Amino acid sequence: MSLLAKTMSKFRLAVVQLHVTKVKVDNLSRARGLIKEAAAQGAKVVVLPECFNSPYGTGFFPEYAEKIPGESSQVLSEAAKESQVYLVGGSIPEEDDGGKLYNTCPVFGPDGSLVLKHRKIHLFDIDVPGKIRFQESETLSPGSNLSMFDTPYCRVGVGICYDMRFAELAQLYSKKGCQLLVYPGAFNMTTGPAHWELLQRGRAVDNQVYVATASPARDETASYVAWGHSTVVSPWGEVISKAGSEETVVYADIDLQYLANVRQQIPITAQRRSDLYTVNAVQEG
């Protein structure tokens, strides 16, 4: 293997766990500073949390919604360019030209260009009696596309929070060549301790990929309290990096040769019984 190939088979990933407030300009400023900090630590891909520019809640989505391009996406574009990173811009409440609202993740390249925007496919509508009820569909519309982008290192698949619960989406991303799946997400104090790490490890092991999640930092005074614990999981299902509940940046060195070794040792892709079952995309991204 050449030196260049060895270099390109490894890269540093940074996951930003941002303390989100009701002041959008402060959220944008702090996010930009942490992106710069991550780049200074050698990160080539940086992931922000779900709803990083606004509080998370159906009452906040219409108030904070903006177009893409818009104020928040402009800051992200500039931050990606000045830090020379691939920037997975968490998510923001997006308003389209028809007035519909989406929970949208914009991704920017090192040149500041908008690479893609992923609109959350599966809306967070749950009701756990006595614990939590939340209905994103009260104000948001679902997206309808798979979202992947290529870097010099690997192909990356993008989902948002509740998207992670749907194994079929991760399977499709893996099938289409993704080696890293990123999920900006804001699990809560009920679903977080129960399922947050479990789902990440499941998606990683099932598909032999790296999985990264970016949560907002926990704010006990917020109307919706995020679990935190942003995490990176290896293709073996090991937690290789994990935050606590506070604002921080966590790092993981993504090793694609290690991923290839795992797939060679346990070759489930070649062993799948496509004569008996298959998962196919109806709507291509």
Q: Read off the CATH number of the domain in which 30 is found.
A: 3.60.110.10
Tokens of 52: 């990083």
Q: What is the mean pLDDT of residues 112-119?
A: 98
Do strands 125-128 and 132-135 pair parallel, antiparallel, or not at all (unpaired)?
A: antiparallel
Percent of the chain with pLDDT over 90: 94
Say if 285 falls within a structural domain: no
Is the predicted pLDDT of residue 1 greater than 90, yes or no?
Answer: no
Is the predicted pLDDT of residue 165 greater than 90, yes or no?
Answer: yes
Compute, in degrees rounded to 10, the torsion defined by CA atoms 243, 237, 148, 272. -170
219 CB-contact burial (10 Å; exposed 0-12 / middle 13-18 / buried 19+): middle
Residue 167: what pLDDT?
98
Say if 26 falls within a structural domain: yes
As for how many domains the chain has, the answer is 1
- Proportion of the chain in helix, strand, coil states, percent, rounded to 5: 30, 30, 40
Residue from 51, 105, 161, 178 carrying the catalytic annotation: 161
**Structure-model confidence comparison of residues 72 and 131, the more confident one:** 72
Say if 283 falls within a structural domain: no
Q: What is the mean pLDDT of residues 81-100?
A: 98
Say if 281 falls within a structural domain: no
Tokens 């060549």 correspond to what residue?
A: 177
pLDDT-derived band at 127, boundaries 50, 70, 90: very high
Range of the domain at 188: 3-270
Q: What is the mean pLDDT of residues 63-69?
A: 98
Is the predicted pLDDT of residue 4 greater than 80, yes or no?
Answer: no
Say if 153 falls within a structural domain: yes
Is 71 catalytic? The answer is no
pLDDT-derived band at 8, boundaries 50, 70, 90: confident
Taking Cα atoms as reference points, which of 238, 233, 236, 262 lies closest to residue 250?
233
Backbone angles phi, psi at 242, to 5 degrees: -155, 135
Taking Cα atoms as reference points, which of 200, 194, 264, 271 lies closest to residue 237?
200
Query: Could you tell me the sign of the dihedral formed by the alpha carbons of 48, 53, 54, 58, in that order?
Result: negative
Residue from 120, 136, 178, 247 carrying the catalytic annotation: 120
Is the predicted pLDDT of residue 18 greater than 60, yes or no?
Answer: yes
Whole-angstrom distance between the N-terminal and C-terminal Cα of the chain?
Answer: 33
Taking Cα atoms as reference points, which of 188, 191, 214 lies closest to residue 91?
214
Backbone angles phi, psi at 125, to 5 degrees: -120, 100
Say if 16 falls within a structural domain: yes
Residue from 44, 50, 94, 154 carrying the catalytic annotation: 50
Angle between helices 167-175 and 197-207 (to 10 degrees): 30
Residue type, 170: A
Q: DSSP for 171-239, please give it.
A: HHHHHTTEEEEEEE---BTTHIIIIIHHHHHHHHHHHT-EEEEE-PPP-TTSSS-B----EEE-TTS-E
Say if 233 falls within a structural domain: yes
Residue 88: what pLDDT?
99
Is 161 catalytic? The answer is yes
Say if 279 falls within a structural domain: no
